[in-house]
């Protein structure tokens, strides 16, 4: 990994799930069980997969609070 990329954190609170059971829900609001399901089945390719796997790491380590200031920030 090449250092912290703040845009990734911004994307977690702005990008919505484009398909499936949780379509239109923000990535940061997806339940950990859904993220774990993807981890077992395989994350999608590209940016979406990277965001989902990043969110799983954040939630699995109890770091959700780091996103709270970004969620309150105006778009």
pLDDT tens, position by position, 10-54: 999 999 999 999 999 999 999 999 999 999 999 999 999 999 999
SS3 30: coil
pTM across the whole model: 0.89
Distance (Å, rounded) from C-alpha 58 to C-alpha 18? 20
């Amino acid at each position: 990994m090449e250092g912290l990329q703040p845009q990734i954190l911004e994307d977690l609170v702005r990008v919505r799930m484009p398909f499936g059971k949780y379509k239109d829900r923000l990535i940061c609001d997806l339940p950990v069980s859904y993220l774990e399901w993807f981890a077992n089945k395989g994350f999608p390719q590209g940016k979406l997969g990277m965001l989902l796997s990043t969110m799983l790491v954040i939630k699995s380590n109890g770091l959700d609070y780091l996103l709270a200031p970004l969620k309150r920030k105006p778009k």
